[in-house]
Amino acid sequence: MATLNIGIIGAGGIVRRRHLPELKLIPAVRVVAVCNRTRATAEAVAQEWGIPRVTTDWHDVLAMDDVDAVFIGTWPNMHAEVSIAALNAGKHVFCQARMARNLAEARAMLRAAREHPDRATMLCPAPHGMRGDRVIRRLLSEGFLGEPREVHATGFSAANLDPKTPLHWRQNFDIQGYNTLTLGMWIEVIHRWLGTHRLVTAILKTHTPLRADPETGVCVPVRIAESVAIAAEMENGALAGYHFSGVAPNAPHNRIEIYGTGGTLIYDLDTDEIFGARSDEQGRRPIPIPPGEAREWTVEADFVRAVREGGATEPSFADGVRYMEFTEAVYLSAQRRETIALPLPE
């Protein structure tokens, strides 16, 4: 097995906590370069993980002939530019989620991937709902639900509750774009299980419209919503209701609920527990996740396998475009105060 050489562009928290440790466990995989915004942080990562080359310019990594693939761990504002340049440089690309800041950037990434079909491309999947993913898919394919009629999801936290908290980078529209709370993650999971949407209506609310810039201390507008309420229709005909909030203290567990003509399935995203019942049963019961069906979050190994063996990745860049399209439609609906039809025009 030939050694696969990887370059890291953006050594943020998830790269240090998750990707680098897991890559180290995969045979014949070597991280040969790391790029970060400051020399000091890049050198610290390089020293900890024995990475031989350090730079603060991501172009340097793409110019290295022995780098076969890149892991992009930057903020979303750089995902499109770096991914497209990496593909044009002949590299395989693993990109952190969310895919990009907006649909236009996501579509540009997908076009580049299709122009380089010999290069593997993959987005980092949401870990939520991963453990029971195979069980849910099996139950749906076996007709446990019958025809889907209702889909509901909640993603509540109190991350934005304190108005005195400075602007987090996840609230910075220039960095994050339309990506909001757990909206994209939950929609990624719902798309995987039930397919896409055709109509979207949304109301957005920013409860603290100004927050202090963490670097300057100057108050700046908050352009990313802190509460999101969505009514939608899926391609399969089901109606959907989604509610996301960053201002909900002591909230119940986040969950996805699916109701159909034949039964009910509820996935607790905080505990990875599944509950369900046939329509003729009284009360929901736990549905076990057998060890043989439990899906682990093996994203690094999945990407390396795609590079070495080919085959589909999940989520693919096409999957990312679909959840980015939904996210942008949410904002368009709120801004225009109208229902938005999908797909959005090119």
In a domain, 331, yes or no: no
Residues 194 and 107 in one domain: no
Rg (CA), the chain: 21
Q: Write down the mean pLDDT value for the chain.
A: 97
The predicted-structure confidence for 102-118, as pLDDT tens digits, reads as follows 999 999 999 999 999 99
Residues 159 and 198 in one domain: yes
Three-state DSSP state, 68: coil
User: Can you give the pLDDT at residue 339?
Assistant: 98
Mean pLDDT score, 134-144: 98
In a domain, 334, yes or no: no
Residues 22 and 146 in one domain: no
Residues 120 and 144 in one domain: no
CATH number at residue 81: 3.40.50.720
CB 319 within 8 A of CB 179: no
The predicted-structure confidence for 297-328, as pLDDT tens digits, reads as follows 999 999 999 999 999 999 999 999 999 999 99
- Two tokens, residue 14: 């998830």
The predicted-structure confidence for 263-289, as pLDDT tens digits, reads as follows 999 999 999 999 999 999 999 999 999
pLDDT grade for 69, boundaries at 50, 70 and 90: very high
CATH number at residue 140: 3.30.360.10
In a domain, 141, yes or no: yes
CB 204 within 8 A of CB 227: yes
Strands, DSSP E only, in 177-226?
Answer: 197-205, 210-212, 219-221
Kindly state the helix (H) or strand (E) to which residue 192 belongs, with its residue range.
Answer: helix 183-194
User: Can you give the pLDDT at residue 5?
Assistant: 98
Strands, DSSP E only, in 45-142?
Answer: 53-55, 69-72, 92-95, 121-123
Give the structural domain span for 50.
Answer: 4-125+298-313
Residues 28 and 49 in one domain: yes
- Two tokens, residue 80: 């499109």
Asked if pLDDT for residue 1 goes beyond 80, the answer is no
Q: Nearest-CA neighbor of 241 among 226, 233, 230, 256?
A: 230
Residue 95 phi, psi dihedral angles, 5° rounding: -125, 135
Beta bridge partners of 35: 9, 55
Angle at CA of residue 250, ends 238 and 163, nearest 5°: 100
Three-state DSSP state, 18: helix
- Per the structure, how many domains does the chain have? 2
In a domain, 150, yes or no: yes
Name every residue whose Cβ is closer than 8 Å to that of residue 211 and which is 6 or more positions away in sequence. Answer: 163, 165, 166, 167, 171, 219, 220, 222
